[in-house]
Structure 1
Amino acid sequence: MKIKDRLQSLVILTEEELKNYLYSELQRYYSLDSIYLLDGGIVVKGKDKATLVSHMDIHPIINIDHKEKKLLSFLNTVYCKTGIGGDDRCGVLVILELLDRGYRPNIIFTEKEEVGRVGVRKLIDNHLDLLIEITKDSPYLMGLDRKGFNEVVFYGCGNKEFINFLINEYHLDYNVGSFSDVSNLGPSLNKAICNISVCYYSAHSENEYVNLKKLKSMIDKIEGMVKDCNSIKNYSY
């Protein structure tokens, strides 16, 4: 499936519809007993060591007229007259693209990130042992919920060795951010965290757009990071 077509199929879904879709779609790639459908999100145990995090909701300001959304193109970008919801349907898309390429990472899909990280808080409060078990071999937690291109943010992660490694190894551009689901997961699981750009711009507005050319480039880079997670050491928060 072309990236634009996949994005179109994702942005027309409500959060609840996306959760049901992902639960069904994940069964194409994972055994049913490794997929946990929970109040707060979906957690998946994979064969690869990488753990990827993305949220299923979009900001309330553009959470309207889902079925009427049609992506419009201009050069390498796509947008929608009512707001596209690339934050964070782009993160979901990246994960599905990696599954199509044969990778089987651990996955944490969360609910209601945009209204106070409600879903990830529920997962931590009610399923902490499961999260610890699933991520125990992960070198770090990788959020796919950052605007722009080639940026990485670390929030409160204080592991300077990890920060220097990620920036230098993958030639990422350091920036700062407010919060994301990994902000909660990192200290709760004592895992180093990062949040990687997935090429949406002007988030939380009806003017949001996605650069597909840059997104394809970031998928390739993230693929390399996922692959490398199988052979690098674990980093603490």
Structure 2
Amino acid sequence: MKPLEDYLKPTQKELFAKLRTQYKGRTNVCKNSYILVRGEAPVLLVAHLDTVHSEPVKQICKTRNGEILMSPQGIGGDDRCGVYALNAAYEQSEVKPWLLFTCDEETGGVGASVFCTKYRKGVLPNELDQLKLIIEIDRKGKNDAVYYDCGNDDFEEYITGKGFKTAFGSFSDISYVAPELGIAAVNLSSGYYNAHTLHEYINRKQLENTVKKVVEITAESVSPEFPKYEYVEASRYYGRGWGHSYLSWYDEEKVLKKLPEDIREEYEALLDFYTVEELEEYRMELGDVVIHQIFETEFSDTHPQPKEEPEDYGGGGSHKNKRGR
């Protein structure tokens, strides 16, 4: 098994070529868009190959025990942690899961969108219809589980039973793939922190823990008794009855002026990750308390320092992003 470090340094194009060669004879490939690796277990694992950083990783800095990794160029744990996790889970699984490596998730889920188009055209393997669940590994932190607009309560209960806690996010590849395939999906933590900044770091132990749980889920899925978790569109309450809809455009300045004082500061901080429309949707559904909950999810693990400082680490700067995973 290749170590995590081998997945951090290549460019997206280089990594695409390496994975295509690695799984030769088992793939369905769309150049510059995605690599689908055929499996036997009814589970699809998803990760994206791109990062937001402007240059490839040249120097990897580690704590003395090797558990924490950083880079002056930005370590790219989002989502090279996921790419590593898919390969590790595939190798460790007796019955192999399906794998989907996508390109350009950070610029709007481009590869995932192409994959969905190919699926609609009927050019992908028919066995995809037998999938029982989808797992993306593209979330920050230790044990988050994000479902986006998938509202299958039984599936959420199953994932929670594996030690994950429900968190909030606005977009990742499964936002396209899950409804297209009609299969419930979740985005799980992969041990990276401070995403989209040069201060991003990876906790290797937490990443390996997610891999272990995904291997366990893959093994369980093979049982005939294991249910197929279908995609269920989440229902949201807007004061006009139950149903799913999209909010109209908001004037950010007017919304901020009308916010209750006890949530204003947290709300403004969250605008680095979410749009006003998304935050207002959550408030309509769950009330003002949800702003405190989302803030805790996004920032409770954003600033802790590793127990040991990485050696020879340098660099700074940040990249703000209007999306929460």
TM above 0.5, one fold? Answer: yes
Corresponding position: 1:235 with 2:229: yes
Contact 2:93–2:219 at 8 Å: present in 1 too? no
> Counterparts of 2:77 and 2:168 in 1: how far apart (Å)?
20
Amino acid at match of 1:137: Q
> Counterparts of 1:190 and 1:158 in 2: how far apart (Å)?
12
C-alpha spacing 1:154/1:65, structure 2 compared with 1 (3 Å): closer
> Counterparts of 1:154 and 1:188 in 2: how far apart (Å)?
15
> Counterparts of 1:131 and 1:146 in 2: how far apart (Å)?
27
How big is the shift at 1:130?
Answer: 4.3
Match of residue 130, structure 2, among 119, 122, 137: 137
C-alpha spacing 1:131/1:167, structure 2 compared with 1 (3 Å): farther
Amino acid at match of 2:159: L
Corresponding position: 1:200 with 2:201: no
* Partner deviation per Cα, 1:152-211 (whole Å, 9 max, x = no partner): 11000021222122213x121111111110110111111111011111111111011000
Corresponding position: 1:11 with 2:20: no
**Structure with the higher helix share, 1 or 2:** 1
> Counterparts of 1:115 and 1:106 in 2: how far apart (Å)?
24
* Structure 1 portions without partners, runs of 5+: none
Structure 2 residue aligned with 1:69: 59
Q: Secondary structure at the match of 1:136?
A: helix
Amino acid at match of 2:206: K
TM-score by length of 2: 0.66
- Show the 5 A alignment for 1:1-237: 1=1, 6-27=3-24, 32=25, 34-39=26-31, 40-59=33-52, 62-66=53-57, 68-73=58-63, 76-103=67-94, 104-128=96-120, 129-131=122-124, 133-168=126-161, 170-231=162-223, 232-237=226-231
How big is the shift at 1:74?
Answer: 5.5
> Counterparts of 1:167 and 1:74 in 2: how far apart (Å)?
33
Q: Which moved more, 1:205-214 or 1:118-127?
A: 118-127
How big is the shift at 1:102?
Answer: 4.1
Between the two proteins, the alignment pairs up a number of residues equal to 225
Structure 1 residue aligned with 2:304: none
C-alpha spacing 1:113/1:74, structure 2 compared with 1 (3 Å): farther
> Counterparts of 1:172 and 1:102 in 2: how far apart (Å)?
20
The structure, 1 or 2, with the larger RCO (C-alpha pairs under 8 Å, 6+ apart) is 1
> Counterparts of 2:79 and 2:127 in 1: how far apart (Å)?
23
TM-score by length of 1: 0.89
Note the aligned Cα RMSD (angstroms): 1.7
Identity across the alignment (%): 30
> Counterparts of 1:47 and 1:58 in 2: how far apart (Å)?
29
